[in-house]
Amino acid sequence: MSGRILFVCLGNICRSPLAEGIFLHQVKARGLEGRYTADSAGTGDWHVGNPPDTRSINVARKRGVALPSLGRQVRKSDFEEFDLILAMDGNNRRDLLELSPAKYRDKVKLMRDFDAAGDRGADVPDPYYGGPFEFDNVYEMLDRCCSRLLETLEGGASKDGGRHTGDAARDAPASP
């Protein structure tokens, strides 16, 4: 199965570029580069064209992860282009659902719907106003979620022992 994944937060400089970088790093580590692509975007336009926040870059760099993209805002065409759109929090999800044509709304999920810690439906907290500790916590959370996302995409076993079909947009639980 191939998959085009879009990670979305508010400004596209902290959480979503981290998720994109972590996901692409895990894809490469598993030898799946030809099967998955990823991008990130923000619901707001404040940071269009800017690199990720230096704290996101630093927390990723400490772990050997590159953050490849520049900030951009979500486009209407993203809903058709991507197979799965992962919002970092409930506000981002609501904004995405408002922008999305009705036929693509089932592609929009919360990132933590894939959290192995069992915190499905919870928000990935925005570390922007915090210090390095918050960025480390967000990194660890996103690392868990990206790992479970790849397991789901690859048809791995779910936490409850069931089997996923490999369709992450369909297999993720419905978000509240």
Catalytic residue among 39, 126, 143, 171: 126
**Cβ-contact 143, 149 below 8 angstroms:** no
* Percentage above 90 pLDDT, the chain: 81
CATH number at residue 144: 3.40.50.2300
Strands of the 84-87 sheet, one edge to the other: 36-42, 3-9, 84-87, 108-110
N-terminal to C-terminal alpha carbon distance within the chain: 27
pLDDT exceeds 50 at position 122: yes
Tokens coding 38: 């990823």
pLDDT (0 to 100) of residue 132 = 80
**150, part of any domain:** yes
Clarify whether 126 is annotated catalytic: yes
Tokens, residue 130: 């915090």
Please give the average per-residue pLDDT across 29-51, as a whole number.
96
Domain count, the chain: 1
Residue with tokens 């990206």: 146
Q: What is the mean pLDDT of the chain?
A: 90
Mean pLDDT of 14-40: 97
| pLDDT tens by residue, 130-144 | 888 999 999 999 999
Whole-structure pTM value:
0.89
Query: Has residue 25 been placed in a domain?
Result: yes
Residue with tokens 């870059």: 57
Nearest to 154 by CA among 165, 139, 142: 165
**List of residues 6+ apart from 145 with CB closer than 8 A:** 19, 111, 112, 114, 115, 116, 124
Asked if the structure places residue 27 within a domain, the reply is: yes
Specify if 176 maps to a domain: no
Whether 62 is covered by a domain: the verdict is: yes
In a domain, 145, yes or no: yes
**Does residue 34 sit within a domain?**
yes
Which of 14, 15, 89, 112 is catalytic? The answer is: 15
Q: Is 9 a catalytic site residue?
A: yes
pLDDT at residue number 56: 97
Q: What stretch of H or E contains 174?
A: none
Q: What's the domain range around 153?
A: 3-171
Average pLDDT of 165-169? 53
DSSP 73: B
- SS3 state of residue 31: coil
Cα–Cα distances in angstroms (integers) from residue 90 to residues 69, 154, 169, in the given order: 23, 26, 17
Let me know if 95 is a catalytic residue.
no
- In the chain, the amino acid numbered 60 is A
Task: Name the pLDDT band for 164 (thresholds 50, 70, 90).
Answer: very low
The residue from 9, 14, 145, 146 that is catalytic is: 9
Q: What is the pLDDT of residue 171?
A: 56
